[in-house]
Amino acid sequence: MYRSRSARSSSLREPDSRLSESDKIEGAGSWDALEWTKIDPVARSVPSGVKQFLLEAEHVIVEGYGVVLVNTDAAGTLYVTNFRLLFLSEGSRDIIAIGTIPLATIEKFQKIAMKLPSGSRQPEKTVSQRLLQIIGKDMRIIVFGFRARTKQRRAVYDALLRCTRPARLWDLYAFVGCPSRFSNTNPKVRLLNEYWRLLGMGFYQASMRAIEDGSFTLSNEWWRISSVNSNYTMSPTYPFALLLPKSISDDKVLQACTFRARCRLPSITWCDRGTGAVLARSSQPLVGLMMNMRSNADENLVAALCTQIAGEKRRKLYIADARPRKNALANGAMGGGSESSANYFQSEIVFFGIDNIHAMRESLGRLRDYLDTYGTTSSDGMSSFLRHGGWSWGGGNLSSMSASVSTLGDTGWLIHVQTVLAGSAWIAARVALESASVLVHCSDGWDRTTQLVSLASLLLDPYYRTIRGFQALVEKDWLAFGHPFSDRLGMPSISGSGNMPFELSRQASTGSLPSSPMRQGSGSSSSQAQNTSHAQNQSSPIFLQWVDCVSQLLRMYPFAFEFSSAFLVDLLDCMLSCRFGNFLCNSEKEREQAGISDACGCLWMYLAELRASEGSSHAHYNLFYDPLKHDGPLLPPAAALAPTVWPQFHLRWSCPSEAQGGEVEAECRKLTRKFSELQRAKEAAEIRLNEASVTVESLAAELRNEKLVSTSARDAVKRASKETATIKRAVQSLGFSVYFTVDGDCNVGIERNPTEIPQQSICSVLTKDINGSVSHSEKADFSEPASEMEDAVSDNPLIRVCGSLCPMHTRDGECQWPNAGCAQSQSQLVGLKANFDAFDRLSIYDSYFGN
């Protein structure tokens, strides 16, 4: 049954929304509900609006218009670029995440032809729908629907054939996608820095000059860094520098390497400087079918891993074989095998029973099909609640629920994860509790061995549980020691295309899970994968499985890790997309030959730039991280090693709402972000407060200076006033009258009666205020009490001389001068003694001075 046009428009406005329950129940399924023939044609030119979504150096190769994303029932435009499949919603023109996938992340794709009943007007005809199924390595299955008779599906399919598996390594997007923006130091330098940290010489900093002149071979009392493989002549899959026992020379190392598969001899990957215990790795020994081949050089090298314990005998050695015992015996037929404890002193052989890469690949495929079948968002557009009449969950059939759980167990993925976790925990316990040395190997020593030693190192060393330490761990154990990422991802290597023939099956994905009855292959051509033997397919999710194990530890110990689950998801997405050069090629030697570090961007710099945008509140940081709570080894008991489906990675496409980190974590992150904002606001307010305090202090200092100046000015005015009053009284005592005009001029006149000298003189004088401006005081009283003046001048020797010479000074010590004028003036009357008698006889009334 077809829906109306309005229903389609509503779907376009919300591209990520699901079909309503009524729509799904009315139709025969969401495949039937799609309006295949009612999508209007769009112009074939690439619109300028898509350019805003393209990365640097990304360009469109093929585009398809009027395409329907069956998973979400959203119509839009599908673009094939040189980096990814990009799906834009027709209504909002936004990217729909589930329909956008990097080309390197596509594991396989296939055409599907489906016939649906036509409308009621032509019941005798059927409409064939053109579908394209995309199966990703990141647990998603996407289905695109194309309109009939447009040949758009053929164009997209051919573009995927050309671009998903390029013929040459240099055709990957990583070589053109902004390598200079995310440049980093040479990985060799970073490896040496990690070696020096393990030796207790972290204060040294490596450089390319030290690598070129060979001066990086430092050592301590037990171990040394060897340059025996500096040119990769001994082992092309090992790093250029190896951490080896100090007692073993390079000549003995060259002899011992021939006894191990691919010359991957025992090498130290982690060591405990306190106890001398080491964690070493290698490949299987070449003991042969009869298990009777031996090598003295190899036995001496392995024995040197067990240094002497202080005051005790030599420490114990455990040889951990990651394979099942039967697989180890079977390898003996091809020259491999496992060690004999009789040939290695004080050793014990342990088998962990971890399956090979093919079992892991098939297990992940079954888990992907399980999630697609029972998830909320399925590749057939139908919720698991409604499929087959609701039998899977919503029908209330308890037996079906049990069947679903058993189906999850049948995938085997959680069992494999638990096995890896248990083996790593056992190794960490032997090193931490017994101070024993452990040598780990599988067949080639680059898959299961890498999983075990890196996970055990993560449990033993808190440094590896930080973001920076986790980067060092991945680069050391996974990249430097030659995990074949190109082969496991199906990407081309330095020698050409990858050794995994690409699967172009037109049949539905295989598996024991029930699939939609409309998922029927066209049968027009056979799958190329069917012509490929099981052993030739070298792709396998080994690194993905290891990161899954890390997420399980993060769930068990939420306070022990600096990084969050979101950091692990972004790391996996970058690795699967091949956008950066870190995980290209199969070994350090191949990456150096291809010039990866110079030609491609660095994944770690990209992730660091993401974190720098938000600081400590970024999703990559674990909110609950407490380095003091777990500052030693993590030793989980066996009962705690019960893994679950990793929601943030496994469920993000099939169950998007359940894949979130949880409401508690989301609220904590929101509160942390708000706290960071308040903290920044507080810091800004404190800065403004400090600036205001400095300003206030400056103004206070200026005010104090102004007060000092004002006080000095007032004192000066007071002194000037006193001097003026004294001079005036002295002049008045001589019979003159002194007047100060408004302008400040001084007028001196002659008194008619010299005896009538006023006791106080009222005159106008010039004064200065605090600001220095001149003002007039019309009634300024400059007189002071005689007692105060006498006290002020009694000690003046000049006054005593004046008193002895002055004729007006009586014998009783009293001064007959009017108003004590001579004493108040402090004097200038001493010089008048010679003419005083004549002066005294003069009369100012005789017109002595003339008119």
Question: What DSSP assignment string belongs to 774-817?
Answer: EEEEEEEE----HHHHHHHHTT-HHHHHHHHH-TTB-TTS-B-S
Q: What is the DSSP letter of 480?
A: I
Is the torsion defined by CA of 660, 663, 668, 674 positive or negative?
Answer: positive
For tokens 């105060």, the residue is 788
Distance, CA of 491 to CA of 638 (rounded, Å): 37
Q: Shortest CA distance to 34 belongs to which of 5, 68, 6, 65?
A: 68
CA atoms of 20 and 17, how far apart (whole Å): 9
Is the separation of the CB atoms in 246 and 221 below 8 Å? yes
The residues, ordered by sequence, that sit 6+ positions from 646 with a Cβ below 8 Å of its Cβ are 548, 551, 552, 565
What residues contact residue 84 under an 8 Å CB cut-off, 6+ apart?
58, 100, 101, 102, 103, 577
HEC-encoded secondary structure of 181-224: CCCCCCHHHHHHHHHHHHCCCCCCCCCHHHHHHCCCCCECCCEE
**Could you give phi then psi for residue 470, rounded to 5 degrees?**
-65, -40
Token pair 């289905």 is found at: 143
Cα 438 versus chain centre, distance? 34
Alpha carbon distance 664, 21 (integer Å): 30
Ordered strands of the 347-351 beta sheet: 223-226, 242-245, 267-271, 278-282, 437-441, 317-321, 347-351
SS3 for 846?
A: coil
Active site residues: 442
Burial of 209-228, coded b for 16+ CB within 10 Å and e otherwise, reads ebbeeeebebeeebbbbbeb
